[in-house]
């Protein structure tokens, strides 16, 4: 099969801004974690779709870390970037920061999503190679290779 044209990391960078409102709050007056995960999943999906130009589905999420709480009226900045691609899968790193009224930023959450490109019959389909341009992108790729090996290992363990 012919090789697809490569895409750069910056071609699919995605940023979404969310204002935390009353409907997003749990009984402890903090942002409901499931709501944040839904927003992150959407950003991961859009980033992956921009890279591969296909419909995508979420295969797994790991390293999801809630680093700090968020409250009503907080502004959340949710960013997605492709860190690795396989044959049909893409790893998307999603970072969430909370922006203060003074424009200060604080890390709130981070996760790595594996998104798989699917065709019209719901079968995994090849994705374009990722063109790495910076040292940071090359380092992220190497780290992602290690995560991919860990994920494969985890899938062989019955829990
Ligand atoms: C993800 C899915 C399409 C994979 O289909 P599959 O028949 O297992 O396909 P394959 O075994 O060929 O795997 C395809 C790719 O997905 C990766 N993959 C499959 N399952 C994975 C998992 N649990 N975690 C991470 N990667 C996974 C494989 O490593 C492979 O990557 P590569 O092509 O880059 O090497 C399929 O399991 C699926 O549809 N799952 C449900 C997804 C869904 O509905 N998500 C929405 C939330 S409910």
State the CATH number of the domain containing residue 142: 3.10.129.10
Q: How far apart (Å, rounded) are the C-alpha atoms in residues 33 and 68?
A: 11
Q: Is 41 in the pocket of ligand 1 (CB under 6 A)?
A: no
Residue 88 lies in a domain: yes
Residue 83 lies in a domain: yes
Give the count of domains, the chain.
1
Give the distance (Å) from ligand 1 centre to CA of residue 83. Answer: 17
Residue 114 lies in a domain: yes
Residue 140 lies in a domain: yes
Residue 55 lies in a domain: yes
Ligand 1 atom at minimal distance to the Cα of residue 86: 34
Ligand 1 atom at minimal distance to the Cα of residue 127: 34
Domain of 110, in residue numbers? 7-155
Give the distance (Å) from ligand 1 centre to CA of residue 138. Answer: 24
Residue 144 lies in a domain: yes
Mutation probe of ligand 1 site: the residue of 34, 58, 59 with most atoms within 8 A of C-beta: 59
The pLDDT tens digits for 72-98 are: 999 999 999 999 999 999 999 999 999
Residue 1 lies in a domain: no
* The pLDDT of residue 86: 98
Residue 106 lies in a domain: yes
The pLDDT tens digits for 70-79 are: 999 999 999 9
The pLDDT tens digits for 102-152 are: 888 999 999 999 999 999 999 999 999 999 999 999 999 999 999 999 999
Alpha carbon nearest to ligand 1 atom 6, residue: 124
Mutation probe of ligand 1 site: the residue of 124, 127, 129, 155 with most atoms within 8 A of C-beta: 124
Q: Are 6 and 128 in contact (CB under 8 A)?
A: yes
Q: Is 105 in the pocket of ligand 1 (CB under 6 A)?
A: no
């Amino acid at each position: 099969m012919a090789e697809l044209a490569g895409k750069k990391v910056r071609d699919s960078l995605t940023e979404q801004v969310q204002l935390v409102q009353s409907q997003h709050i749990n009984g402890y007056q903090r942002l409901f974690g499931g709501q944040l995960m839904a927003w992150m999943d959407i950003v991961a999906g859009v980033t992956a779709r921009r890279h591969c130009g296909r419909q995508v589905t979420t295969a797994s999420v790991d390293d999801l870390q809630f680093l700090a709480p968020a409250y009503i009226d907080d502004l959340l900045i949710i960013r997605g970037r492709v860190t690795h691609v396989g044959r049909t899968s893409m790893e998307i790193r999603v970072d969430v920061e909370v922006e203060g009224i003074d424009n200060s930023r604080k890390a709130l959450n981070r996760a790595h999503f594996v998104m798989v490109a699917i065709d019209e019959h719901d079968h995994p389909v090849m994705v374009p190679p990722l063109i790495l341009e910076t040292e940071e992108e090359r380092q992220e790729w190497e780290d992602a290779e290690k995560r991919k090996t860990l994920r494969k290992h985890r899938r062989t363990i019955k829990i």
